[in-house]
Amino acid sequence: MGLSQVGAHRERHTESEANTMLLKTRSAGFTLVELLVVIAIIGVLIGLLLPAVQAAREAARRTTCTNNVKQLALAFQSYHDALRRVPRVYYGHGHSALAGGYIPRTKRGTAFWEIMPFNENARLFDSANGDAFGVPANPGVRQIPGYICPTDMRSLVHANLAIGTSAALMNYAINFQVAGRPEFGDNVVGTSCSTAASYVNDDPAQTNFSANTTMDRLFTDGTSKTLVFAEKYRVCRTDGFFGNTWCGAGWDARFLPMFAFGSRNGVTSFVNCEGRDHNNVGPNSKPQRAGEMVPVLDVNICSSMRTQAFHSGSMMASFGDGSVRAIREDIDGQTWWALCTPKAGDKPGEF
């Protein structure tokens, strides 16, 4: 091989190596078009996966809320078995113009306070000697995990004030038609406490807040056909006031964790003292569609006198037999009210 041939061979070899290096360099990265295609594909995948992830998270939250309602139902039954009466909407001190102010009581609280010894909160109950407002323990400001539904993501967990400084809020309510006494009528005439007679009294004959009866006498329509517990937003007002507190406030129905507050026939809403007539009873009292918080309690959007369906248009509710089922916000009104009344002789339709 001559010198010219050797030189040509080396030149071709060098050129081949250069081409190989160029191909390697090009294959080591992406072009702008390729990057855009990859980003678009990733965006599409995220768009497809995000709803599934959100649905999975809501399913987990809903499971927690369902379990909470189930535990309330079991505590309700355990309370009844132990004391041979259903829990009371509220008991304790009240306001009386005749008595010159608030009537003192050493035992105060709602049905949710009464059942605490039966839902693993006996230590808290005992710490205040059975008084939800007792000092120095002041249990009413304590947040109870089992009383919170994580689907309600509103940040407020205490009424109007910072955590630990005011009444703790909750996401559940008890049926007044079960835990109250509609036959008594409203506790006051009008909406002013200043002219009210005593309405919160240990004597069940002096208040509509105490059913003072047993389950077999009360649930004549059937335990599987009567609602006991249902879900509510912790708070409806943007300022956090008039929230759904588990310790309650007998002087203002807007703070009480209850629903279906009114006459047994579903005609007359009770207001107690400072409550509101927001279609509390009857076919129009069915769960409200989940909505935004409002400056003023709204009969059509969000009211503390009503239940709310915030699980994609449904709410979890327990029945007298301890079962838990979903109730949709578009339930037939007559069916809803038949489920609320324990002894009206009516039969609920499908739901």
User: pLDDT-derived band of residue 196, with 50, 70 and 90 as boundaries?
Assistant: very low
The whole-model pTM stands at 0.80
The pLDDT tens digits for 58-73 are 778 889 999 999 999 9
Domain range annotation of the chain: 46-340
pLDDT at res. 11: 53
Determine how many CB atoms are found less than 10 A away from the CB of residue 217.
Answer: 12
Give the pLDDT mean for 278-304. Answer: 85
**Does the pLDDT of residue 171 top 50, yes or no?**
yes
Report pLDDT for 95: 45
pLDDT band with cut points at 50, 70 and 90 for residue 283: very high
Q: Compute the average pLDDT of residues 300-316.
A: 89
Q: How many CB atoms lie within 10 A of CB 258?
A: 29
Give mean pLDDT, residues 75-84: 94
If you average pLDDT over residues 335-344, what whole number do you get? 95
Rounded to the nearest 10°, the torsion over CA 295, 298, 301, 302 is 80
**Where would I find the beta strands (DSSP E) of the chain?**
90-91, 95-96, 101-102, 109-110, 172-175, 227-231, 258-259, 288-289, 308-309, 314-319, 324-328
133: left (phi over 0), alpha (psi -120 to 50) or beta: alpha
**Residue 104: band (very low, low, confident or very high) from pLDDT cuts 50, 70, 90:** low
Model confidence at 102: pLDDT above 50: no
d(CA 248, CA 173): 11
Task: Say whether pLDDT at 127 is over 60.
Answer: yes
Quote the pLDDT of residue 73: 97
pLDDT, residue 105, reads 58
Query: Three-class SS of residue 201?
Result: coil
What's at 43, amino acid-wise? Answer: G
pLDDT beyond 70 at 4: no
Sign of CA dihedral 196, 202, 203, 205: positive
Residue 136 preceded by cis peptide, ω within 30: yes
**Can you give the pLDDT at residue 206?**
66
Q: Cβ(143)–Cβ(157) under 8 Å?
A: yes
DSSP run (H or E) holding 62: helix 32-83
Between the ranges 36-45, 68-77, 161-170, 204-213, where is the mean pLDDT highest? 68-77
Residue 262, pLDDT > 80, answer yes
Q: How confident is the model at residue 101 (pLDDT cuts 50, 70, 90)?
A: very low
Nearest to 224 by CA among 320, 318, 315, 317: 320
Kindly report which listed range (79-83, 279-283, 297-301) carries the lowest average pLDDT score: 297-301
Task: Please indicate whether residue 103 or residue 139 has the higher confidence score (pLDDT).
Answer: 139
Neighbours of 192 (CB within 10 A): 11
Say what the pLDDT of residue 265 is.
93
Average pLDDT (108-115) is 92
With bands split at pLDDT 50, 70 and 90, how would you rate the model's confidence at 96? very low
Which letter does DSSP use for residue 334 in this model? H
Higher pLDDT, 100 or 287: 287
Q: Is the pLDDT of residue 194 over 50?
A: no
Q: Which two tokens stand for residue 275?
A: 């409550």
Least confident range from 9-18, 130-139, 172-181, 223-232: namely: 9-18
Contact 263, 270 (CB under 8 A): yes
Band (pLDDT 50/70/90 cuts) for residue 302 is: confident
Handedness of CA 252, 258, 259, 263 (dihedral sign): negative
pLDDT at 60: 83
pLDDT averaged over the chain? 80
The answer to whether the CB of 161 falls within 8 A of the CB of 169 is no
pLDDT at 224 over 60: yes
Neighbours of 64 (CB within 10 A): 14
pLDDT digits (tens, 9 = 90+) for 250-259: 777 888 999 9
